[in-house]
Amino acid sequence: MKIGFVINPYAGIGGAVALKGSDGREIVEQALSRGAQPQAEARAKVALQEIGDILPGTVIFTAAETMGENVLRALALPCEVLHAAEGQSSADDTKNVIRLFAEQQVDLIVFAGGDGTARDVLDALNGEQGRSIPVIGIPAGVKIHSAVYAVTPSHAGELINLVLSGEPMSLHESQVMDLDENAFREGRVNARCYGYLSVPVDDTRMQLIKQGGLNQNKIAVQDIAADIIETMEPDTFYLIGSGSTTAEIMNQLALENTLLGIDIVYNQALQASDVDEQTILKTIKTQPAKIVVTAIGGQGHVFGRGNQQLSSKVIRQVGRENIIIIASNEKLRSLDKRPMISDTGDSELDKQLAGLYPVVTGYQQKTLYKLN
């Protein structure tokens, strides 16, 4: 069996510093200048740690150093390097590596990145030679709408392990979605389908497409916001997460809202808007604080998708008991009984966050729903 493995090492680097994406060299440089730390290798390593014994005859092709080789060497997994980037890697390097995988006629391509990386893979496989090669995406980006990614890095590792062990697996075509990042930074969501990639059929481990624009009952969302405002505690920082459900809280408070970012409210007044991880940590310090977030419709992610500013450090400082999850009953039904998901990049924290949560679904209404 031949496997192709590649990492976009700068995927997700703009998340914690509130850049809402990582596409393009300029954004990467801006993120690095703000002190952002690359996380894609660490997330890829979590996935590949799930791999057991490699069967004789298995070959793993990859790219040099941060694009895959480092992770494989660290895990003592045998590999053959096909490509080396000159300086800082780019989308062109990802595409070149994928084309080399296709030339080697690999049986599976594993890649770590975000929606932009998925588009690079799609572009490189559009020829006849690569169109039928199945892929598994390891989620490492800021915005991950595409259904070619596993739910978490660990889920990706479990799937890879099943493939390597010879487990029969059905395949289907799944959408590669991407957002216009410039519009995203201006608070507008322009997402579209760019094509399809072949992925394993696994409703437990592979994520679904984000369901945007759910026909939510407007009154229900207004009632949720009214409940949150009525129960706000004095002298407490409220970290208001991204999304239209949480935006209604800001609307009812008559405060400026960052639809796709994190705002801080204190005594029902705006303390800071569109904040990054470091600003949050400096602001709340040792003061009481609460996080208000919603689950992504259809996918269920509460942390780790578009709100990396609410990092593991922030969540640990605030505390599990001070996390408030809000969602309409319609949004919960869109999960089709699948649990909500925390994918913070800190596996121990994700385990600690697991359990039942009283999700606020209306005015003085709560629904117990499982996370992870």
Task: Report yes or no: 81 and 69 within 8 Å, Cβ to Cβ.
Answer: yes
Token pair belonging to 64 = 């040099």
pLDDT at position 372: 85
Find out whether 264 and 239 touch, Cβ atoms under 8 Å: yes
Residue partners of 269: CB distance under 8 A and separation at least 6:
255
- Give every residue of the chain whose pLDDT is below 70, as ranges: 15, 18-24, 28, 31-32, 127-131, 180-191, 210-216
d(CA 334, CA 146): 17
Cα 316 from Cα 91, distance rounded (Å): 34
Q: How far apart are CA 146 and CA 106, in angstroms?
A: 22
Quick: pLDDT tens for 181-232: 555 555 555 667 889 999 999 988 998 876 655 555 788 899 999 999 999 9
Question: CA 190, 36, 292, 47 torsion: positive or negative?
Answer: positive
Burial class (CB in 10 A: 0-12, 13-18, 19+), 56: exposed
Query: Given this model, what pLDDT does residue 198 score?
Result: 94
* Per-residue tokens: 313: 């450090």
pLDDT at position 88 is 87
Q: Given this model, what pLDDT does residue 21 score?
A: 59
Cβ neighbour number for residue 53 with a 10 Å cutoff: 9
The alpha-helical segments, DSSP class H, found in the chain are 25-33, 40-48, 69-74, 91-103, 115-124, 153-164, 181-185, 218-230, 244-252, 277-284, 312-318, 329-334, 347-353
Instruction: Identify the pLDDT of residue 184.
Output: 56
φ and ψ at 38, to 5 degrees?
A: -60, 135
Residue 169 has a pLDDT of: 86
pLDDT value of position 56: 81
Residue among 226, 217, 278, 218 at smallest CA distance from 250 = 226
What is the DSSP track for 77-92? ---EEEE--SSS--HH
pLDDT at 186: 56
pLDDT for res 51: 86
Q: Residue 37 has what pLDDT?
A: 78
**Beta bridge partner(s), residue 81:** 62
pLDDT of residue 259: 86
**pLDDT tens-digit readout, 62-93:** 999 999 999 999 999 999 999 999 988 999 99
Instruction: Specify the 3-state DSSP secondary structure of 107.
Output: coil
Distance in angstroms (rounded) separating the CA atoms of residues 359 and 157? 30
Distance (Å, rounded) from C-alpha 316 to C-alpha 310? 10
What does DSSP say about strands 301-303 and 341-342: parallel, antiparallel, or unpaired? parallel
